[in-house]
Structure 1
Amino acid sequence: MNPIRIEKSTQLKPKPEQQSLGFGKHFTDHMFLMDYSSDEGWHDARIVPYGPLELDPASMVFHYGQAVFEGLKAYRSVDEQILLFRPDKNAQRINHSSTRISIPPIDEAFFVEALQTLIRVEADWIPSMEGTSLYIRPFIIATEAALGVRSSDHYLFAIILSPGGAYYEEGLKPIRIFVDNHYVRAVQGGTGHAKTPGNYASSLKGQMEAKEQHNCSQVLWLDGIERTYIEEVGSMNVFFKINGEVITPELNGSILEGITRNSVIHLLREWGIHVSERKISIDEIMRASDDGLLEEVFGTGTAAVISPVGGLFWNNRDIVINEGITGACSQKLYDTLTGIQYGKVQDKWGWTVKC
């Protein structure tokens, strides 16, 4: 792989106020791009001024949906270092997703190098206020201009950056989620285990109805065959603490293998908490609630890290979890993971990488 070419912007943007960053609203001065062709492979790695992409209307991504993406963050640590959290896992997963929809893989070490190089160029964009970070969005799209259902011969790999505010401005706040019996996110044998845009497009209708009709902020998806077994919450993996044991759905081919999920399982087991990865039904969850054994429910993902669940709505049943407040396990996981990410807690596992 040739060195990354850097073309600096001559007109830098004013940086937004850190108090009002929000999420995904502002973008930095530069982006990373790299092309693929069946003749040359991946080539022309470059950092250029941020701007629109010029794509032919016949670009295959528009018609056949060949696209994958990732999400991770860069953190400004307490001692002013720039840290990434397990970027090697994102490199592995983007190739896993690409394989599922016939996109050629990227060298994983180079993926991390591209991230680090772009972030160093844009270091001034990393906010320093408590809880803020620089969100990183790598993605690959099919760019060949052709119609016909087949894999593209041309692709674009891009990385864009967006400074983001604290996900929880007032601390962890439990959410209420709707258990959807009607819509399905994914099925085994499909693309549920890949981070591809179509999975998110298929979730939007259920998400909208959950909010408008049931005042729920997220959807808990059930399996696509029996409509019985728990899969994911919105764009997060989900965990249930029942009678001292933490249970999360097993990776069955329709569930995304979350990097935060993996980290949570590792931490819980190290703390001596029994973790089971297995099928778990919505009926089992409701029985545990009826028996007073459902202690905590929380989601895990890059954006929120840990998202405690304060209530479940299913088949006109509205149950409250842990009196609607954040549980001790959820809080400890959040404090530990964010502590590692910001350099406040010792990283005994080598999860953070310096830029």
Structure 2
Amino acid sequence: MTHQLKVIERKQLQEKPDPATLGFGTLFTDYMFSMDYDPELGWHDAVILPYQNIELSPAAQVLHYGQAVFEGMKAYRTGDNVRLFRPDENFKRMNKSNARLNMPEVDVDFMVDALTQLVKLEKEWIPTGEGQSLYIRPFIIATEAYLGVRAATHYKLMIILSPVGAYYGSDHLAATKIYVEDEYVRAVRGGVGFAKAAGNYAASLMAQTRATELGYDQVLWLDGVEQRYVEEVGSMNIFFVIDGTVVTPELNGSILPGITRKSIIELAQHLGYTVEERRISIDDVFEASASGTLQEIFGSGTAAVIAPVGSIKYRDQEIEVNDSKVGPITLDLYNHFTAIQNGTEEDPFDWCVKL
């Protein structure tokens, strides 16, 4: 890989949006990053350039065989202080996704440096309101024009940036409603469930649409073999507080190893909470609710950060959690976690990259 990074200036910059109007993922900044891959040169032609459409052959393999992976991370700004949260972990995970989809790996250090330069250039796009940030979307697609079924030889990596508000709207700690999917499955062990592959999300859309139509915010997926064990929510990993212990499903090859999930586990242990990573069935959850030991549920992810769950529907049963309010452990973790991200609290883990 070449470590040269070219910058092409944009002639006219866009007007910055009103922070009060920010949604999620609808606005994009002035610049983007792009880099190409072929077998002869490896990754090459790294460039920061004006945000623009790309040309793609109708025969590009991504359109036919789905070789596409992506990541999600955020930049935060407090005054002149700009921070990235664990970007190296995201590019390491991207490499694991690349390996599973037979795609070329990237140089993690170079990608962190390139991202740092891109975000520095777009510093003024980072909103500073409560729950706001600059969402960062790196992704790789197969661009080779070929209709045979094999791994592509040519790829394009891009990073685009989007100023965003809270994922679930202005009340970022409002409790979400979860619908447990018991017909479709998201992934099975041995598949690509642990990879952040685009196709995983395409496979989830039918269930998400149904959940939305029924008045629920997200889908909770069960395992793909017995359809008994809790795995993850569509946009989040899931945590339960049962009798004072923070419990989350153990990684098993079909659950996405979330960077936020990993960080929440480390933070919770640092704060003195007992954390268990283990198999937990949906029946266990409902039995804990019936016995009064289910105290809180929350999800974790880059987009949502930490989102309390107020109710869960499974078949003909529905339970309410903590009167559909954010619980004390969830709130404690949220406050410490976001303070570290924003730089208003000491970072004892050295998680953040300061620009």
TM-score scaled to structure 2, two decimals? 0.98
One-letter code aligned to 1:344? T
Which residue does 2:57 correspond to in 1? Answer: 56
Which residue does 1:224 correspond to in 2? Answer: 224
Q: Match of 1:186, SS?
A: coil
Which residue does 2:82 correspond to in 1? Answer: 82
Deviation at 1:171, TM superposition (A): 4.4
User: C-alpha deviations, 1:26-56, integer Å up to 9, x for none?
Assistant: 1111110000001110011001111100001
Q: Match of 1:262, SS?
A: helix
- Structure 1 CA distance, aligned partners of 2:270 and 2:87? 22
Which residue does 2:353 correspond to in 1? Answer: 353
Residue 144 (structure 2) pairs with residue 144 (structure 1): yes
One-letter code aligned to 1:215? G
Which residue does 1:339 correspond to in 2? Answer: 339
- Structure 2 CA distance, aligned partners of 1:195 and 1:169? 27
Which residue does 1:28 correspond to in 2? Answer: 29
Residue 256 (structure 2) pairs with residue 256 (structure 1): yes
Which residue does 1:6 correspond to in 2? Answer: 7
Which residue does 1:298 correspond to in 2? Answer: 298
1:106-125 aligned within 5 A: 106-125=106-125
Q: Match of 1:286, SS?
A: helix
Alpha-carbon RMSD across the aligned residues, in angstroms, is 1.0
Residue 129 (structure 2) pairs with residue 129 (structure 1): yes
Q: Match of 1:97, SS?
A: helix
Q: Match of 1:330, SS?
A: helix
Deviation at 1:233, TM superposition (A): 1.1
- Structure 2 CA distance, aligned partners of 1:69 and 1:87? 13
Which residue does 1:186 correspond to in 2? Answer: 187
Gaps of 5+ in 1: none
Which residue does 2:330 correspond to in 1? Answer: 330
User: CA 1:211 to 1:166, structure 2 compared with 1: closer, same or farther past 3 Å?
Assistant: closer
- Answer yes or no: is the 8 Å Cα contact 2:7–2:49 preserved in 1: yes
Moved more, 52-61 or 267-276: 267-276
One-letter code aligned to 2:29? T
Deviation at 1:308, TM superposition (A): 0.5
One-letter code aligned to 2:264? V
Deviation at 1:166, TM superposition (A): 3.4
- Answer yes or no: is the 8 Å Cα contact 2:74–2:136 preserved in 1: yes
Deviation at 1:131, TM superposition (A): 2.4
1:146-295 aligned within 5 A: 146-167=146-167, 168-212=169-213, 214-295=214-295
Q: Match of 2:147, SS?
A: coil
Gaps of 5+ in 2: none
Deviation at 1:318, TM superposition (A): 1.2
User: C-alpha deviations, 1:90-136, integer Å up to 9, x for none?
Assistant: 01000011100011100000110111011111112112223221110
Deviation at 1:272, TM superposition (A): 2.0
- Answer yes or no: is the 8 Å Cα contact 2:9–2:50 preserved in 1: yes
Query: Percent identical across equivalent pairs?
Result: 53
- Structure 1 CA distance, aligned partners of 2:316 and 2:97? 36
One-letter code aligned to 2:218? Q
Deviation at 1:2, TM superposition (A): 3.3
- Structure 1 CA distance, aligned partners of 2:267 and 2:121? 33
- Answer yes or no: is the 8 Å Cα contact 1:2–1:44 preserved in 2: no
- Structure 1 CA distance, aligned partners of 2:172 and 2:284? 30
User: C-alpha deviations, 1:240-262, integer Å up to 9, x for none?
Assistant: 11111111111000000001101
One-letter code aligned to 1:31? M
- Answer yes or no: is the 8 Å Cα contact 2:3–2:110 preserved in 1: no
User: CA 1:166 to 1:218, structure 2 compared with 1: closer, same or farther past 3 Å?
Assistant: closer
- Structure 2 CA distance, aligned partners of 1:2 and 1:193? 29
- Answer yes or no: is the 8 Å Cα contact 1:74–1:133 preserved in 2: yes
One-letter code aligned to 1:279? R
- Answer yes or no: is the 8 Å Cα contact 2:131–2:172 preserved in 1: no
Moved more, 57-66 or 12-21: 12-21
